[in-house]
Amino acid sequence: GLLSLRLTGEGRLDPAIEEGRFAEAPYPRPAAPVSVNVGADRAEILSLAAAALSPGVLHITIRLPAGLAAGQHRLVVNIDGTP
């Protein structure tokens, strides 16, 4: 399955955009490496960019890890190694 996330706190973007401005194509991405874990497994990041109509918001789409059991799981987004 796929999961869409929206979050803040992504740090510096590349290319940089002025704070409070709408992102425009090509949509900026975090300059630092990003990873997403669901439970103990790494999720595949399918898309990762500043949200077009929400200044200061990062939009991430992930594919949930194969074989993930039904139920609640901890989801952790790491940016430059920091959860």
- The 10s digit of each residue's pLDDT in 35-75 is 999 999 999 999 999 999 999 999 999 999 999 999 999 99
Residue 43: per-residue pLDDT: 98
Residue 35: per-residue pLDDT: 98
> For the purposes of burial, counting CB atoms within 10 Å of the CB of 35, is it exposed (0-12), middle (13-18) or buried (19 or more)?
middle
CA-CA distance, 14 to 26, in Å (whole number)?
Answer: 10
Q: pLDDT tens digits for 1-17?
A: 999 999 999 999 999 99
Question: Can you say whether the dihedral through the CA atoms of 25, 28, 33, 38 is positive or negative?
Answer: negative
> For the purposes of burial, counting CB atoms within 10 Å of the CB of 72, is it exposed (0-12), middle (13-18) or buried (19 or more)?
exposed
Residue 46: per-residue pLDDT: 98
Q: Are 3 and 64 in contact (CB under 8 A)?
A: yes
Residue 17: per-residue pLDDT: 92
Residue 39: per-residue pLDDT: 95
**Identity of the amino acid at 48:** L
Residue 1: per-residue pLDDT: 94
